[in-house]
Amino acid sequence: MKLFVRNLPWSATEVDLAKFLDDQGYHVKEIKIAYDEDQRRSRGYGFVTFATREMYEQALRDLGGEELMGRQLYVAAAIDKPKNGGSRGRRARREAGDGDQRNYAPVVRDDFGWEDV
């Protein structure tokens, strides 16, 4: 019941999105906007967890194309990221035959510091 929302304004906060959704008649449990600490602004996307499945399904159907602070929103069902990293890592891609094929020399720590073997 989590929705992925993108094309948020850089200046948008979780409060802005919560007020927007409340004005649209949605009841949400949680809102998280990705924030870039270096740039001190939103990354332009976030996640909304809805209180009920019905609210989630209605938002998924109806929120796409709505405007928040002059920007058109795009929404999609959020996909939970696997806790173990899934099969997206370099090793898994290499084993599947579609990743980086270079061989890397191991790096070991000895009493004098780091060195290549």
Mean pLDDT for the stretch of residues 33-48: 91
Mean pLDDT for the stretch of residues 50-70: 94
Mean pLDDT for the stretch of residues 2-14: 94
Q: What pLDDT sits at residue 97? A: 53
More confident site: 70 or 88: 70
Q: What pLDDT sits at residue 90? A: 57
- Domain-by-domain residue ranges, the chain? 2-77
The CATH code belonging to domain 2-77 is 3.30.70.330
More confident site: 89 or 6: 6
More confident site: 40 or 99: 40
Q: What pLDDT sits at residue 89? A: 57
Q: Would you say residue 94 has pLDDT above 70?
A: no
Mean pLDDT for the stretch of residues 38-43: 88
Q: What pLDDT sits at residue 40? A: 85
Number of other CB atoms surrounding residue 89 within 10 Å: 12
Determine phi and psi for 55, rounding to 5 degrees: -65, -45
Cβ-based neighbours of 34, under 8 Å, separated by 6 or more: 42, 43, 44, 45, 46
Paired with 3 in beta bridges are 48, 77
User: Taking the model in full, what pTM does it have?
Assistant: 0.67
